[in-house]
A and B are shown apart, each in its own frame.
Chain A
Amino acid sequence: MINMILSGLLLVTGILGIVLSGNLIKKVMALNIINSSIVIIFIYQGSLTGRHAPIITGEEKSIVDPVPQALMLTAIVVGICVTALALVLVYRMYRLYGTLDINEIEKRIRDE
Chain B
Amino acid sequence: MSDDSLIILFFALPLLFSVFPLFEKINPRFRVSKAAASAYFAVSFIMLILYIPSMFSGNEINSVAGGWNDLVGITQKLDGISWFGFFLMFTVSFFSMLYSFSENEYGSTFYFFFLVLHAGMAGMLLAADIFNLFVCLEITGICAYVLIAWKKKEKALFASFKYLMLSSLGISIFLIGTFIIYSRTGSLRFDVFADYFRNEENRSLSTVFAVSALIAGIGVRTAFIPYTWLPDAHAYAPHPVSAVLSGVVIKVSFIAVCRIIILLDLVEARIFLLWMGSAIALIGVARALSQTDFKVLLAWHSVSQMGYIFAGFGAGNQYGITGAMFHSLSHAFFKSLLFLSVSLVIISTGERSLKKVTGTGKKFPFAALLFTVAALSIAGIPPFTGYVSKKLILYSLKSHPAAYWMLLASSIGTVASFTKLSLIFRGKLSAGIKEGIIPVRKIPFISGYAGMSALAILCLAAGLGGRYVAEKTLFLVTGEINSFSSMNLWTDTAEYIKAAVTVVSGIILYRFVMSRTGIKIQHFLLRIRLSFDSQLILLLCGFMAIALIIQFY
Spell out A's residues near B (CB within 8 Å).
15, 18-20, 24, 27-28, 31, 34-35, 38, 41-42, 45, 67-68, 71, 74-75, 78, 81-82, 85-86, 89-90, 92-93, 96-97, 102-103, 105-106, 109-110, 112
Contacts and interface: CB of A to CB of B under 8 A. Distances in A.
8 contacts: A18-B169, A31-B172, A35-B168, A38-B175, A42-B179, A67-B188, A78-B134, A89-B145
A97 B157 CA distance: 11
Given A31-B169, A75-B175, A90-B161, 15 more contacts: A19-B533, A19-B536, A38-B175, A38-B176, A38-B179, A74-B135, A81-B142, A82-B141, A85-B145, A93-B157, A93-B161, A102-B531, A105-B158, A106-B532, A109-B154
Contacts of B131: 71, 74
Contact of A24 (B161, B175, B529): B161
A18 B533 CA distance: 8
B277 to A, nearest CB: 27
Contacts, number: 89
A45 B169 contact: no
A31 B168 contact: yes
Interface in B115-160: 131, 134-135, 138, 141-142, 145-146, 149, 152, 154-155, 157-158, 160
Majority secondary structure, A binding face: helix
B338 to A, nearest CB: 24
A92 B152 contact: yes
Interface of B: 131, 134-135, 138, 141-142, 145-146, 149, 152, 154-155, 157-158, 160-161, 164-165, 168-169, 172, 175-176, 178-179, 182-183, 188, 529, 531-533, 536-537, 540
Nearest first, the 6 closest Cβ-Cβ pairs linking A and B are: A89-B161, A78-B138, A34-B172, A38-B175, A42-B179, A96-B154
B179 A82 contact: no
Nearest to A107: B531
Nearest to B176: A38
A97 B183 CA distance: 46
Nearest to A39: B175
A35 B149 CA distance: 24
A89 to B, nearest CB: 5
A67 B182 contact: yes
A38 B182 CA distance: 13
A42 B165 CA distance: 22
A20 to B, nearest CB: 8
B157 A82 contact: no
B409 to A, nearest CB: 29
Contacts of B146: 85
Given A41-B179, A92-B152, A103-B531, A15 B142 contact: no
User: Which one of A15, A82, A97, A103 has the greatest number of beta carbons of chain B within 10 Å?
Assistant: A82
B43 to A, nearest CB: 27
B161 A78 contact: no
A31 B176 contact: no
A89 B157 contact: yes
A43 to B, nearest CB: 10
Given A19-B537, A71-B131, A82 B161 contact: no
Contacts of A71: 131, 178, 182, 188
A38 B537 CA distance: 19
A102 B532 contact: yes
Contacts of A35: 168, 172, 175
A96 B158 CA distance: 11
Contact of A93 (B142, B158, B165, B168): B158
B320 to A, nearest CB: 35
A68 B182 contact: yes
B182 A109 contact: no
B531 A106 contact: yes
A18 B161 CA distance: 13
A65 B462 CA distance: 50
Nearest to A90: B161
User: Which one of B146, B152, B533 has the greatest number of beta carbons of chain A within 10 Å?
Assistant: B533
Given A45-B179, A82-B138, A109-B154, A18 B536 contact: yes
